[in-house]
Structure 1
C-alpha cells in the first residue's frame, strides 16, 4: 500500500517546479515591458538557465517512480487521480527533450524576440529572418522529438490544442471559408457605417484610464494583477493571484486599446478564476489555448461589441472622449463592428478575422513541413492577403512582422484564435439560454451571471477535461460551427440591414 504522504510529496515537487517556471515567466514579462536594451543578452541566458532547471526537475527519475506508484493508488480521489494521469503524460513528453535542447530552444527564442523587435523598428523582415530560421529548424527538430502520425505540424498543434491535427483543421477551415466569404460579399453590397470619428486624436493618458475602467468593470481584480504597455498585447500569470495584462495605445484610434483591454481581460479572468488549491498541478492550469481564447473572444466580442455594452458605456466614453459628443451609442456600435478587409489581425472585424488566422495557419503548416522557406514568408503572406482579403500589404511591419508569436516559437498557436471564437459563440448562446435577461443586465454593466456560468463551467475544472469534453459538459454538445455563423449573421444583418 503506497505511503499516505506520497501524493503530498508529488504535489510539493510539482509546486517547486511551478515556482521556477513562474520565476521564468516574471523574467519573460519584464523582457516585454521594462527590460533595458542592454539587458537582452544576459536576460536570454537567465531565462535559458531557468528553463533548463525546470526541465531537469520535471524529468527527475524520482518523480517518474513517484508517478508510477501513485498511478496504482486506489486511495486517491478523482481530482488526485486526474492530476497524476496528466502529470504522467507531461512527464513522458518531457523525457523526449534533452536539457541541452531545452536550453538551446530558450536561447534561440529570446534572441529571436529581440531581433523581431528590431525588425519591426526597421520595417524589414530580413533583420528577423536569420534568427527565425534557427528557431524554425529547432521547431522542426521538436516535431521529430514529440512524434506525429501524419503531418509534422500536428505535433506542435497538439501542444496548444490537444488532439488538433492538420486534417481536422483543414476540414474546419474549409467548412468555414465559404459561408464567411458569402456573408462578407453580402455585407460588401451594402453601405458601410461611418467610422471616421474613431480616427481622431485620443489622448494616451485618457485612453489608459478608460482601459483601466473597462478592466475593473468586467471584474479584473487589481489586487491580484496589473496592466502595462507592451509591443504586442498579452496576458501572463505567476499564480491565480498575480495575473498581468498588457495593452498598446494608438492615439489616433481608441478602439485598438479598448478592445485589446477587453480581450486580454477575458484571458485574465480565466487565470484569476483557476483554483488556487491546485497551484502547480494540472487542475490549476487552463484547459487549452482554444478554451483560453474563447474567454478573450467572448468578452471582447460577444459582450464588448454588443449594443448593450455600448449603450451602458457610451456616457463613460463621452467623459473621457468628448470628441465623440456629435455621435450616438448606435453609431459607435455600428462603427466598431464595421466589416472591412484590412491588414492587422488584432484590429480586424469579427468576420474577416478568421481569414487572417487561416493565412497564418497556411504559412506555419508549410514552413514546418518544409514546403515554404523562411525567406519566402513575406511573398507568400502578401499573396495570400491579396487572395483572401483583396488587400495589398505595403510593408513588412503591417505584414508578416505584425505578430509576436513566431518570435516566441509559438508555432501552432494561431488556429486556437478561430477555435476560441467558435467556443465563445457556443458558450455565450448557452449562457443566454440559462439567463434569458442577460442582455438587459449587460445594458446595466452587470456581468454576474456571465461570471457565475464561466466559473461553474470553465474556470473551476482547470485541465480536468479536454476542450471537447469541457464543451460537451458545459453545453450538452460537441463544438458546432453553426453558433458562430448564426451569431455573425444576426449581428451584421442588424447593422447592415439585410
Structure 2
C-alpha cells in the first residue's frame, strides 16, 4: 500500500501522524504546567494518572510500525526537498530510539515523575531529603534501566546525555570542564583577593507586587509576545511551550532578594523567545523543534548574563527601576548597582550564583549524576556527597537540605543529564553574543537605549528559524563561523571582571 502512493501523499501522511503525536504531547504538557502552578494538592494522584495515560498514548503512536514503514520508504526514495528530507532523517532517528522503550515503561516513568515532583515539593517544604529519598531512588533505578534500554558506549550517562544534547558524551564534557576548571578557579581567587562588591541593597524589602510589575515590563520590552504566552509563579522557574503561540514561563519571588525574580524572568524569557521564534510551518516536525538543550540554554544564559547583567542594559533600565523602588535604591548609583549585581561570591544556590562560580555548581551535579548512574554512589549518599563537594569546590557549608540537594527540580522530573547543558549553554551563548555584535554593529548601542530588537532579530535569523536542522556544533559554525571555542567565554569573563574588580 505504501509503495503505491506518491512521495507527496506519503509525506502528507507522515506530517499528519507527527502532528497528532505532538498534539497529545502538548496536551500532556498543559497538564504538567498546571501541575506546577495551579493544581490543588488533592488532585496530584489523578493528575499523575492523566499524564501517564497521555504519555503512553503519544509513545504508542510514535512507535507505530506503520510510521516506521512510512519513514523508511521516504528515506529510501530520497526525492524530497532538503527540509523534507531532513525532517524524515531526524524522525527516523527518533523513531529508532523510541522503539527501544515499551509503552508500559513510558507510563511508569511518567507516573514516577509526577509522584516525584509532588514528593520533592513536600520535602522542600519540610526541609527533609529523607521524604524524597524513596521516590528519587525509584527514579534513579528507572533512569539506569532507560540507559540500558537505549544502549550506550563506555558510560551509561552517555545514554541520558543524548536525550538533551545529541552526541554529547562523558569524554566530551570531562574535556570541556577540564578546560574551564583551573581558569575559573584562578579568576575566582583573583576576585576574592579584591574588596567585595556591595550588594546589600539587593536584600532590602522589595514588595512582591512591585517586583512582579517590574519583571513583566522587562519581559515585554525584551520582545516576549503576551498574546502568545504568559508568566506565572512556581516553586522553581521554568519554561514550557505547547506551540510557538502558547509559551508559558514562570518565576518565583523573594521579597528580601531582588535578584531572585529579576534574573529568573530574564533567563526564562530567553528560553521563551526561542520557542516563539521557531518556524510555525513545521509544528510537530523536527524542524519545528529546538536544536538542543545547550542551544536552548545558550539563549537563556545569553539574555540573562551577556545582556541582563551588562552595564549597557542597566544604563537604560535603572531609571525605570528607581521609579518602582526609590527607597530601596536611594543613594545607589547605576555603577554601584552594576557592581552589586555582578558580585562574585561562593554561595549555596545554583540559580542565584554569579557567572564565575556558577559552573562549579554544575560540575558538582554532573559528577554526582555520573556516579549515581555508574553505581559508585547511592541515593543515600547524596546529601553527604553534596555537602562535601560544596565545601571542596566552593568553600561553603551547606546548612540544610532545602539549600543543598533539594534545591533543583530536575531530578523529580527525571532530567538526569540536563545540568551539563547549562554550562555548555553559557559557552555557546558567549560565542553567539560576540558574533552578533561583530555582525551587527547596532546591537550594543541599541541595548543601551533599551532596544533589544536588533539582537532578537539576529537570533531569529541565525538560531531560531533553523529549528533542529543542525546539531549544536553545526549551528554554532553557521552562526559564528566556527564550532564551539570555550576561550570566547573565558575571555568574556576575564575582560568583564577585570574591569569590575580593577585587577
TM-score normalised over the length of structure 2: 0.98
CA distance in 1, matches of 2:453, 2:319: 21
The corresponding residue for 2:203 is 199
Shift of 1:2: 4.5
Shift of 1:351: 0.5
**Maintained 8 Å contact 1:202/1:251:** yes
CA distance in 1, matches of 2:185, 2:266: 27
Pick one of 154, 170, 177 that aligns with 1:150: 154
1:115-137 deviation digits (Å, cap 9, x = unpaired) = 10010011000000000000100
The corresponding residue for 1:106 is 110
1:49-78 deviation digits (Å, cap 9, x = unpaired) = 000000000011110111111112343100
The corresponding residue for 1:351 is 356
The corresponding residue for 1:395 is 400
The corresponding residue for 2:388 is 383
CA distance in 2, matches of 1:74, 1:469: 22
CA distance in 2, matches of 1:120, 1:256: 17
The corresponding residue for 1:318 is 322
Shift of 1:215: 0.4
**Maintained 8 Å contact 1:263/1:297:** yes
1:15-30 aligned at under 5 Å gives the runs: 15-30=19-34
5+ long unaligned stretches in structure 2:
none
The corresponding residue for 1:426 is 431
1:84-163 aligned at under 5 Å gives the runs: 84-163=88-167
Which deviates the most, 289-298 or 442-451?
A: 442-451
**Maintained 8 Å contact 1:241/1:272:** yes
Q: Tell me the SS of whatever aligns to 1:21.
A: helix
Q: How many residues align?
A: 498
**Maintained 8 Å contact 2:157/2:370:** yes
Pick one of 166, 187, 191 that aligns with 1:187: 191
CA distance in 2, matches of 1:316, 1:451: 22
Which deviates the most, 188-197 or 393-402?
A: 188-197
Q: Tell me the SS of whatever aligns to 1:70.
A: helix
1:222-254 deviation digits (Å, cap 9, x = unpaired) = 000000000000000000000000000000111
5+ long unaligned stretches in structure 1:
none
Shift of 1:449: 1.7
**Maintained 8 Å contact 1:2/1:69:** no
Q: Tell me the SS of whatever aligns to 2:37.
A: coil
**Maintained 8 Å contact 1:233/1:245:** yes
CA distance in 1, matches of 2:200, 2:465: 43
Q: Tell me the SS of whatever aligns to 2:309.
A: coil
1:348-406 deviation digits (Å, cap 9, x = unpaired) = 10000000000000110000111000011000000000000000000000000000000
1:259-408 aligned at under 5 Å gives the runs: 259-322=263-326, 323-408=328-413
Q: Tell me the SS of whatever aligns to 1:339.
A: coil
**Maintained 8 Å contact 1:2/1:73:** no
CA distance in 1, matches of 2:59, 2:199: 50
RMSD value, Cα:
0.8
**Maintained 8 Å contact 1:287/1:464:** yes
**Maintained 8 Å contact 1:291/1:467:** yes
Shift of 1:219: 0.3
Shift of 1:325: 2.5
Q: Tell me the SS of whatever aligns to 1:246.
A: strand
1:153-197 deviation digits (Å, cap 9, x = unpaired) = 000011100111111111111111000000000001101111111
The corresponding residue for 2:168 is 164
The corresponding residue for 1:442 is 447
**Maintained 8 Å contact 2:113/2:412:** yes
**What stretches of structure 1 move > 4 A for 4+ residues in a row?**
none
Q: Tell me the SS of whatever aligns to 1:163.
A: coil
The corresponding residue for 2:483 is 478
1:297-337 deviation digits (Å, cap 9, x = unpaired) = 00000000000111100011011111212111111110000
